[in-house]
């Protein structure tokens, strides 16, 4: 008689433990199912933000970072260019992975030969475009949670334009960032998005828009997706 409440309590806590175990197992199974579902479908998702231009015609330089001619990011870049040209902007496109530029050597010999950098490579074709541009558009696939190496090398080569003693300047005022990745998670872009934010702060450039596309991997995955329409709109409103 004296141990009855005790055994009721025991039974109650055993039942409680069993129901918790059941709930945890069910939650784990559901989580596993959802994860499998998300990672096995090719659902493409786009997140974008942009502000409207001031109506002035601009000189826009689009720098791409993929070596795949009809790759997803190059299709984004082409869509942007179509919109920007339609709006009357002057647009140049430089494919950093097709005409690769060497990384910066930090040799501090900038401008010593009259040009921004002493290295003779495709940067000789890029720097006149950089010096003319009012707006820069970086368009890269996500590689190892970052910009592609090729576009990063080209960005590094802008170093001479940050030197106090320079022969010429860049006149860029505004920038945009367009990126795509195989990942289904927007947070995968956190690294380059933060680098972009810091670059803008350092150079006093104004962010005019960002577009991130998740879930694209194979050539053509982005075809037919409204990410391309959004990129075109960003060009039109540049």
- Considering only 45-53, 115-123, 137-145, 192-200, which stretch makes contact with ligand FMN by CB under 6 A? 137-145
> Of 88, 145, 187, 190, which one interacts with ligand FMN (CB under 6 A)?
145
- The single residue among 50, 66, 96, 175 that binds ligand FMN, judged by CB under 6 A, is 66
User: Which CB atom, from 136 or from 181, has the smaller least distance to ligand FMN?
Assistant: 181
Q: Which of 46, 110, 151, 216 binds ligand FMN (CB under 6 A)?
A: 216
- Residue 45 makes contact with ligand FMN by CB under 6 A: no
List the interface residues with ligand FMN, window 84-113 (CB under 6 A).
none
β-bridge mates for residue 63, sequence order: 94, 138
Interface positions, 177-206, toward ligand FMN (CB under 6 A):
180-183, 188
Determine the Cα–Cα distance for residues 164 and 176; give it in Å rounded to an integer: 26
- Please work out the total of residues on this chain that contact ligand FMN, with binding judged by CB under 6 A: 18
Burial of 25 (0-12, 13-18, 19+ CB in 10 A): exposed
Q: Give the pair of three-digit tokens for residue 204.
A: 């006093």
Q: What b/e sequence results for 208-233 when a residue is b if at least 16 CB atoms lie within 10 Å of its CB, and e otherwise?
A: bbbbbbbbbeeeebbeebebbebbbb
Nearer to ligand FMN, 117 or 155 (CB): 155
Identify which range of 41-49, 72-80, 124-132, 193-201 contacts ligand FMN by CB under 6 A: 72-80
Q: Which stretch binds ligand FMN (CB under 6 A): 109-117, 125-133, 174-182, 223-231?
A: 174-182
Tell the smallest beta-carbon distance from residue 208 to ligand FMN (Å).
21
DSSP symbols for 81-114: HHHHHHTT-EEEEEETTTS--PPP---S-TTTTS
CA distance 233 to 238: 8
Q: Please check whether residue 221 is in contact with residue 227, taking contact to mean a CB–CB distance below 8 angstroms.
A: no
Distance in Å, CB of 158 to ligand FMN, minimum: 22
92 or 183, CB closer to ligand FMN? 183
Q: Provide DSSP, 14-55.
A: HHHHHHHHHHHHHHHHHHHHHHHHHHHS---EEEEEE----S
Binding site residues, ligand FMN, CB under 6 A: 66, 68, 71-74, 141-145, 180-183, 188, 216-217
């Amino acid at each position: 008689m004296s141990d009855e409440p005790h055994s009721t309590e025991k039974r109650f806590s055993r039942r409680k433990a069993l129901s918790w175990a059941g709930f945890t197992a069910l939650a784990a199974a559901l989580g596993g199912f959802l994860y499998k579902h998300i990672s096995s479908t090719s659902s493409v998702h786009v997140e974008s933000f942009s502000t409207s231009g001031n109506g002035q015609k601009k000189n826009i330089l689009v720098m791409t970072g993929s070596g795949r001619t009809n790759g997803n990011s190059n299709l984004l870049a082409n869509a942007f260019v179509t919109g920007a040209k339609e709006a009357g902007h002057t647009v140049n496109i430089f494919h950093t992975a097709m005409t690769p530029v060497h990384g910066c050597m930090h040799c501090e010999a900038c401008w010593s030969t009259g040009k921004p950098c002493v290295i003779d490579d495709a940067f000789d074709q890029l720097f006149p475009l950089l010096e003319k541009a009012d707006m820069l558009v970086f368009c890269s696939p996500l590689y190892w949670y970052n910009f592609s190496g090729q576009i990063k090398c080209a960005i590094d080569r802008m170093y001479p334009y940050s030197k106090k003693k320079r022969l010429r300047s860049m006149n860029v005022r505004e920038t945009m960032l367009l990126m795509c990745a195989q990942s289904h998670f927007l947070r995968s872009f956190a690294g380059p998005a933060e680098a972009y934010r810091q670059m803008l702060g350092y150079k006093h450039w104004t962010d005019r828009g960002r577009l991130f596309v998740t879930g694209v991997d194979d050539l053509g995955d982005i075809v037919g997706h409204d990410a391309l329409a959004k990129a075109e709109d960003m060009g039109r409103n540049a």
